[in-house]
Amino acid sequence: MIGAEYRLCDVALDCSFRTREARVEREQALAIIDLLESNTFTPIAHEGGPYRLKIEAADGRLALHVTDDNGVHVVSHYLSLTPFRRLLKDYTRICESYYDATGRPGPERLKAIDMGRRGIHNEAAELLRERLSTKVSIDKDTARRLFTLIYALLARNADHRILSS
């Protein structure tokens, strides 16, 4: 394949969960736009893309299904959500704190909360890179955006135990 592109050209989330939270839907939309604009996505031992990614939650695990641009299966990877449990809970709490603080005066508090949010986001993105490393190589920015999408997917299901307990 000439000029093989190791990038995502399409990302889809399981739509069986719907949220009424506009901010979660907005975060998801922005993450997809940013992700498609710039990403590095290299399935191990595959000759090149571009690739399509579908992310879904299934039986307490995260399923990532990768196809090439023509829809031909490349790889599926199933991740346990257990290693992400603490980070997802912390990220949920800090995002709620951030949105609560936006209505109050004092940019210093927002700055501090946002620094904490970015720290958790970076830690979760690095964990995601490690957990995917046997199947797919991704850069830091791609991992951050994918974590945002994972958070949005799980936040859609208000009953999901990882985010609510």
DSSP per-residue codes, 91-159: HHHHHHHHHHHTTSS-HHHHHHHHHHHHHHHHHHHHHHHHHHTTTEEE-HHHHHHHHHHHHHHHHHSTT
Q: Is residue 22 part of a domain?
A: yes
Answer whether residue 142 shows pLDDT above 90.
yes
Task: State yes or no: pLDDT of 145 exceeds 90.
Answer: yes
Two tokens, residue 64: 């990532």
Lookup: tokens for 83 = 């290693």
79 occurs within a structural domain: yes
CA distance 23 to 160: 18
Residue 56 belongs to a domain? yes
Categorize the per-residue pLDDT at 22 as very low, low, confident or very high, splitting at 50, 70 and 90.
Answer: confident
pLDDT, position 3: 45
Report the number of distinct structural domains present in the chain. Answer: 1
Q: Is residue 44 part of a domain?
A: yes
Give the model's confidence band at 157: pLDDT under 50 very low, under 70 low, under 90 confident, else very high: low
pLDDT of residue 16: 63
Mean pLDDT within 18-32: 78
- The more confidently predicted of residues 94 and 4 is 94
Q: Which long-range contacts (CB under 8 A, 24 or more apart) does 12-18 make?
A: 12/52, 12/53, 12/54, 12/55, 13/54, 13/55, 13/56, 13/149, 13/152, 13/153, 13/156, 14/54, 14/55, 14/56, 14/57, 14/153, 16/56, 17/57, 17/153, 17/156, 17/157, 18/156
Q: Which has the higher per-residue pLDDT, 114 or 139? A: 139
For strands 8-13 and 51-58, give the pairing.
parallel
How does residue 95 score in pLDDT terms, banded at 50, 70 and 90? confident
Domain that holds residue 148: 8-164
Residue 1 belongs to some domain of the structure? no
If one counts every other C-beta atom within 10 angstroms of the C-beta of residue 48, the result is: 16
Q: Model's pTM, two decimal places? A: 0.86
DSSP code of 39? -
In a domain, 135, yes or no: yes
In a domain, 2, yes or no: no
Q: Which of the four pLDDT bands, split at 50, 70 and 90, describes residue 136?
A: very high
> Residue with structure tokens 């904490």?
116
Distance CA 58, CA 76 (A): 13
